[in-house]
């Protein structure tokens, strides 16, 4: 059983569509991070959310941290082919400061 | 350019070979990490070094041996690996200040294939 469950595992959409990726856990995290990984590269940090209920926006990307700090979502508006990649959520455990990753969501945006 | 470099980018080795992966960070960070990334599985944390001391070893088989000679360099020595060890090995670094959730900066990875 994975500590962080991401859904969906794979998403293929047309350019201009909206989408939401989910990251869920039964554990509480002190913070949660979202990374994007492109083929042949390592993950790159997109955002860190710290406060329960926090919402952060990065251009067309909106990140939300659940009130109980157990889950998070990433919403992309008007997806572009450049958004294609593997999206990873990672949570800092409340005790010990260990970073735990989800398995990721593969997003493909077709033009 | 993320400031973390890894060599080699690709490695094919037999089960009886000995090889080493190298990671270098140019960010002045005080912590470095080795992760294993396999398809459809979460990143698996293998080793953590903080201030050049190993602080975590996640039950990794002894055929993987890390070395951190200074705060900028991290090695992963490999010997007598198994085919199931084939994966992308990622190095990362961060600046660990107590009480914060530091972002990790990743290298591009070494794609390892064990025949």
Cβ(A7)–Cβ(A22) below 8 Å: yes
pLDDT at B1: 52
More confident residue, B101 or A64: A64
pLDDT at A77: 98
Strands A10-14 and A105-110: parallel
pLDDT band at B55 (very low <50, low <70, confident <90, very high): confident
pLDDT band at B54 (very low <50, low <70, confident <90, very high): confident
Please tell me the distance in Å from B93's CA to the nearest CA on chain A. 12
Quote the tokens at residue B58.
């996640």
pLDDT at B84: 94
Residue B105 pLDDT exceeds 60 = yes
List of chain A residues whose C-beta atoms are within 8 Å of the C-beta of residue B108: 40-42
Residue B2 pLDDT exceeds 70 = no
pLDDT band at B37 (very low <50, low <70, confident <90, very high): very high
> How many C-beta atoms surround the C-beta of residue A68 within 10 A?
11
A72: contact with B, CB 8 A cutoff: no
pLDDT at A1: 63
Using CB atoms and an 8 Å cut-off, which of residues 24-63 of chain B contact chain A?
40-43, 45, 56
Rounded to an integer, the average pLDDT of B7-31 is: 94
pLDDT at B98: 59
Contact residues for B39 (Cβ-Cβ < 8 A; gap 6+): none
Residue B62 pLDDT exceeds 80 = yes
Please identify which residue in the block is written with the tokens 């083929």. Answer: A39
| pLDDT, mean over chain B | 91
Please tell me the distance in Å from B42's CA to the nearest CA on chain A. 4
Residue-wise pLDDT tens for chain A (111 aa)? 678 999 999 999 999 999 999 999 999 999 999 999 998 899 999 999 999 999 999 999 999 999 999 999 999 999 999 999 999 999 988 776 678 999 999 999 999
pLDDT band at B115 (very low <50, low <70, confident <90, very high): very high
Residue B59 pLDDT exceeds 90 = no
Contact residues for A91 (Cβ-Cβ < 8 A; gap 6+): A3, A4, A23, A25, A27, A29, A31, A32, A33, A99, A100
- From residue A18, how far is each of A75, B64, B80 by CA, in Å? 7, 43, 47
Cβ(A73)–Cβ(A56) below 8 Å: no
Nearest chain A residue (CA) to B38: A103
pLDDT at A3: 87
- Please tell me the distance from the alpha carbon of residue B9 to that of residue B22, in angstroms, as a whole number: 10
């Amino acid at each position: 059983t994975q500590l962080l469950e991401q859904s969906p595992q794979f998403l293929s959409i047309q350019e201009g569509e909206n989408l939401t990726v989910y990251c869920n856990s039964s554990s509480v995290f002190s913070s949660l991070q979202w990374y994007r990984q492109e083929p042949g590269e390592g993950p790159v940090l997109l955002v860190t959310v710290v406060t329960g209920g926090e919402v952060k926006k990065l251009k067309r990307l909106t990140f939300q941290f659940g009130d109980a700090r157990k889950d998070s979502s990433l919403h992309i508006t008007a997806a572009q082919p450049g958004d294609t990649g593997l999206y990873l959520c990672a949570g800092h455990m409340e005790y010990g400061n260990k970073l735990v990753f989800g398995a990721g969501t593969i997003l493909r945006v077709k033009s | 350019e993320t400031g973390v470099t890894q060599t080699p980018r690709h490695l094919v080795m037999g089960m009886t070979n000995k090889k080493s992966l190298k990671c270098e960070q140019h960010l002045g960070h005080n912590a470095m990490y080795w992760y294993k990334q396999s398809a459809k599985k979460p990143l698996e944390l293998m080793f953590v070094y903080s201030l050049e001391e190993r602080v975590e070893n996640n039950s990794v088989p002894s055929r993987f041996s890390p070395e951190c000679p200074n705060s900028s360099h991290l090695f992963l020595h490999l010997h007598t690996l198994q085919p199931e060890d084939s994966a992308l090995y990622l190095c990362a670094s961060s600046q660990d200040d107590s009480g914060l959730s530091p972002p990790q900066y990743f290298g591009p990875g070494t794609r390892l294939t064990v025949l």
